[in-house]
């Protein structure tokens, strides 16, 4: 890089929030450089291309990105419809990356970020030094890139949480890896469908991804005899187990919970509550989950673990980050997104102030900024990068201004089923509302299935 070449702001990840950050920088006359490990824009999004978002098109595109796309003739899809991950990548993310042109580099993995000439412990002259970003290309070549600031929008998709309830892999989890998945299955893929058809599958998790997997497996059960899901919950069934229902201001998110509820009520899934997995044991060609309290689940053929994600902080080890000790989110942001207190509808819109670290000029944004919290929405990330890029441009008034109103109620996650035709019927049948069903079939370990109260609002 010559002395006359502007030093770019490096953005890690060409997903929705990373590309939005680039669009905002371009709008302000600043130079972005987006580094994407995969071969295309939205590589992680494409991994769940079969899953439908619970936010409509009007809420998953960024205003600055739309302005950048407009001269190409791009037109946003119907704002009232709900894209799949594949739709999002094909009809928005890739066109946006194409407009950015050589400002996006593919096949480029960031292996380290530091202050130029300063390791983590050196104070002298630290703030005056630019960042140096170490990368490795798919050809194995190593390079260093100088950056005036770094926006890490790499997400958490590569770090699924394990099966073990204590945050570590359950005993035997790695040994049984060939029958354990950490993704919502694409049951339209013949090979994946064959894996679960006629099988007994444990689904571990309580968020939107688990709801989606339960709904998909319930649909499969209607066509393939012997297909059954065992829903493993670390807590009990309560008023908020299925989300906000018809009271959710994101209707697709509410409908998703109702689909999971219907799967249980219709007998396609059984709920096992208060089960904190400690071990996975092999029994012939099947698996037995063992809880911390000694309970053994009846054998299953497959396990789908949907217990959240963790941020990869390894390549930031030479940077002075201020992270909450529990959530691994920025210290000022953590109290606003604590899942013990908040759903995405009660998260206060936030920007550069809450996302700053002791090391000036570096920001974790998007899903990665939430650390282990699952309550992220795309439009939250767009507001984050609007504020951060305003600050980088010296527009402090705009950086501190809140320009986002979030929908209320419900819980957050990554998928929805709302615009599938059968959902209106399911919503009507299930009765909606915020409550868990008055009665649900709960599987009692070591005994017959009984009916247990599901609580109320």
The owner of tokens 């953005």 is 11
**Is residue 47 pLDDT above 60, yes or no?**
yes
Task: State residue 5's pLDDT score.
Answer: 75
Residues facing 441 on adjacent strands: 451
Between 92-101, 115-124, 236-245, 445-454, the lowest mean confidence (pLDDT) is in 445-454
Measured between alpha carbons, how far is 294 from 275 in angstroms, rounded to an integer?
Answer: 10
Residues facing 286 on adjacent strands: 283
Where is 272: in which H helix or E strand? strand 269-272
Confidence of residue 301 (pLDDT cuts 50, 70, 90): very high
**Is residue 410 pLDDT above 60, yes or no?**
no
Between 14-18, 146-150, 248-252, 359-363, the lowest mean confidence (pLDDT) is in 248-252
Confidence of residue 37 (pLDDT cuts 50, 70, 90): very high
Confidence of residue 21 (pLDDT cuts 50, 70, 90): very high
> What CA–CA distances, in Å, run from 126 to 148, 204, 364?
13, 45, 20
Neighbours of 331 (CB within 10 A): 16
Confidence of residue 55 (pLDDT cuts 50, 70, 90): confident
Task: State residue 440's pLDDT score.
Answer: 31
Confidence of residue 423 (pLDDT cuts 50, 70, 90): very low
Mean pLDDT of 191-197: 98
Q: Average pLDDT, whole number, for the chain?
A: 85
Confidence of residue 262 (pLDDT cuts 50, 70, 90): confident
Q: What angle do CA 157, 237, 172 make, to 5 degrees?
A: 50
Q: Kindly state the percentage of the chain with pLDDT values over 90.
A: 72
Q: In the structure encoding, which two tokens stand for residue 39, read together?
A: 């071969």
Asked if 209 and 413 count as a contact pair (C-beta separation under 8 A), the reply is: yes
Task: State residue 406's pLDDT score.
Answer: 61
Task: State residue 403's pLDDT score.
Answer: 77
**Is residue 36 pLDDT above 70, yes or no?**
yes
Task: State residue 342's pLDDT score.
Answer: 58
**Is residue 143 pLDDT above 70, yes or no?**
yes
Task: State residue 349's pLDDT score.
Answer: 76
**Is residue 15 pLDDT above 80, yes or no?**
yes
**Is residue 318 pLDDT above 70, yes or no?**
yes
DSSP string covering 127-190, please?
Answer: TTSPEEEEEEETTS-EEEEEESEEEE---STT-B--S-TTSSPPBTTTTTGGGEE-S---TTSH
Measured between alpha carbons, how far is 32 from 10 in angstroms, rounded to an integer?
Answer: 6
Mean pLDDT of 91-96: 98
Task: State residue 339's pLDDT score.
Answer: 78
Task: State residue 46's pLDDT score.
Answer: 97
**Is residue 2 pLDDT above 60, yes or no?**
no
**Is residue 373 pLDDT above 70, yes or no?**
yes
Cβ neighbors of 63 (< 8 A, separation 6 or more) are 382
**Is residue 329 pLDDT above 50, yes or no?**
yes
Confidence of residue 433 (pLDDT cuts 50, 70, 90): very low
Quick: pLDDT tens for 204-242: 998 888 989 999 999 999 999 999 999 999 887 665 665
Mean pLDDT of 94-116: 98
């Amino acid at each position: 890089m010559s002395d006359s070449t502007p030093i770019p702001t490096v953005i890690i990840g060409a997903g929705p929030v990373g590309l939005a950050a680039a669009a905002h920088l371009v709008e302000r006359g600043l130079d972005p450089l987006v580094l994407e490990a995969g071969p295309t824009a939205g590589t992680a999004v494409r991994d769940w291309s079969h899953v439908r978002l619970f936010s409509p098109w009007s809420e998953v595109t960024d205003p600055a990105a739309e302005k950048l796309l407009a001269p190409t003739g791009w037109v946003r899809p119907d704002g009232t419809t709900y894209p799949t991950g594949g739709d999002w990548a094909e009809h928005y993310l890739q066109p946006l990356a194409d407009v950015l042109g050589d400002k996006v580099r593919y096949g480029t993995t960031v292996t380290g970020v530091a202050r130029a000439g300063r390791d983590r412990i050196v104070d002298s002259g630290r703030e005056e030094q630019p960042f140096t970003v170490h990368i490795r290309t798919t050809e194995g070549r190593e390079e260093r890139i100088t950056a005036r600031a770094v926006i890490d929008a790499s997400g958490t998709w590569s770090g699924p949480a394990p099966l073990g309830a204590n945050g570590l892999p359950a005993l035997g989890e790695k040994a049984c890896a060939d029958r354990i998945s950490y993704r919502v299955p694409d049951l339209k893929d013949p090979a994946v469908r064959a894996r679960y058809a006629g099988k007994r599958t444990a689904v571990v998790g309580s968020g939107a991804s688990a709801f989606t997997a339960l709904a998909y497996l319930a649909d499969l059960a209607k066509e393939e005899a012997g297909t059954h899901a065992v829903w493993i919950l670390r807590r009990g069934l309560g008023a908020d187990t299925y989300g906000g229902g018809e009271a959710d201001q994101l209707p697709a998110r509410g409908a998703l919970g109702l689909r999971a509820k219907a799967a249980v009520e219709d007998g396609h899934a059984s709920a096992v509550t208060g089960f904190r997995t400690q071990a996975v044991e092999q029994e012939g060609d099947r698996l037995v989950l063992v809880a911390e309290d000694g309970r053994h689940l009846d054998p299953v053929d497959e396990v789908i673990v949907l217990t959240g994600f963790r941020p990869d902080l390894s390549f930031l080890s030479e940077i002075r980050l201020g992270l909450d000790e529990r959530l691994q989110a920025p210290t000022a942001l953590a109290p606003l997104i604590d899942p013990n207190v908040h759903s995405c509808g009660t998260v206060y819109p936030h920007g550069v102030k809450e996302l700053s670290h002791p090391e000036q000029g570096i920001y974790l944004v998007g899903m990665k900024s939430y650390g282990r919290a699952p309550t992220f929405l795309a439009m939250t990330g767009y507001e984050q990068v609007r504020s951060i890029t305003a600050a980088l441009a010296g527009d402090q008034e705009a950086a501190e201004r809140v320009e986002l109103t979030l929908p209320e109620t419900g819980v957050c996650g990554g998928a929805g089923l709302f615009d599938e035709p059968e959902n209106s019927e399911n919503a009507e049948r299930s009765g909606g509302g915020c409550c868990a069903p008055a009665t649900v079939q709960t599987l009692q370990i070591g005994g017959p299935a009984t009916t247990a109260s599901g609580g109320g609002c």
